[in-house]
Amino acid sequence: MRPVVHVVGARPNFVKAAPVLAALRDLGVEQRLVHTGQHYDAAMSDVFFADLQLPAPEVSLGVGSGTHARQTAALMTGLEDAFADLDPALIVGYGDVNSTLAAALVTSKTGVPLAHVEAGLRSFDPTMPEEVNRRVVDALSDVLLATSPEALAHLADEGLPASRMHLVGNTMIDSLLLARERLDPAGALQRLGLDAALLETGYAVATLHRPANVDDPATAARLVRGLAEVAADVPVVFPLHPRGGRTLRAGGVEDVPGLTVTAPLGYGDFLSLVSAARLVVTDSGGLQEETTVLGVPCLTLRPNTERPITITSGTNRLVDVQTLAAAAREALAAPPRPPELPPLWDGRAGPRAAAVIARFLADHA
């Protein structure tokens, strides 16, 4: 049996892929995992494999960082060789990272079909590299696995055939719901050397890594000043993503009173922190979704989001550095809001995606 080959390269991919891998395994589908190494720090990669019980990669490319052009070119070269060796029946790509873009470009030239998990998300911001990746990957995909109803509408507006589209739900939420009963906020705080009393007094969690926020030193410094205003009202725990570490440190992030900078965290520890937080400040797409399910107020430092359902059905709100502090105070003062889960964010997205993939394989045997 020719295998289904999953391409992952960055920490959000691992969280999205784990439920699909598990569900296809239950269906008896032969599978292989290719890890491109787009995230190569152990705290951004290896620990996620352990936390999510992912199988060892069949191929590890170790591509590492670089400009978009250089990284994508290296990814395409490595993936072309890997696909030739593995002879896949189908490639599965996840999200909007360069690894998924490279996989789509390679499959389009070699004739191997492609399934895209998280298809149809749109920010309508062409300055975002991820937005370019999403549009190209969807245009080249044979199977479009969408997380939300508006994603299907975006795909239809772009002229993609309805026969390729499938609303399966959010596989990232499968991983979250599976891990939820094992979350340990007190243990996570203790492992970071922080006082467990923060569970009673309250704390916030911050993450920043988008190029528009962290690549420019002046912008990063303004964000640090904005976080300082938040930290004046509530202690902030800030796991520092490797991307942007240099500019944020130069902006003084490690010198802000009330703000604790930590190394990147594994999946369990990070979710444990977020689950008990009174507030999250982020530019992460996935964290907008996770806070929606956890019922934690989320302030997203971006002018737009490809996940508007986290605003209409969740706890997410878009802010900029000028409105951040006031929005944080408002969120901290508001009573807790019960989460309103979007359609099919029920922990069964992985099996639904696997069923679609299995039907596709049978139809194209």
Indicate which residues carry an active-site annotation: 209
- Helix and strand tally (H, E) in the chain? 17, 13
Which DSSP symbol is given to 308? T
Rounded-to-integer distance, Cα 197 and Cα 342, Å: 33
Cβ-based neighbour number of residue 109 at 10 Å:
11
Nearest to 78 by CA among 58, 49, 56, 55: 58
Cβ-based neighbour number of residue 136 at 10 Å:
16
Helix H or strand E encompassing 360: helix 349-363
SS3 259: strand
Cβ-based neighbour number of residue 301 at 10 Å:
23
Distance set, CA 328 to CA 210, 221, 233, 278, 357 (Å) = 20, 19, 9, 10, 42
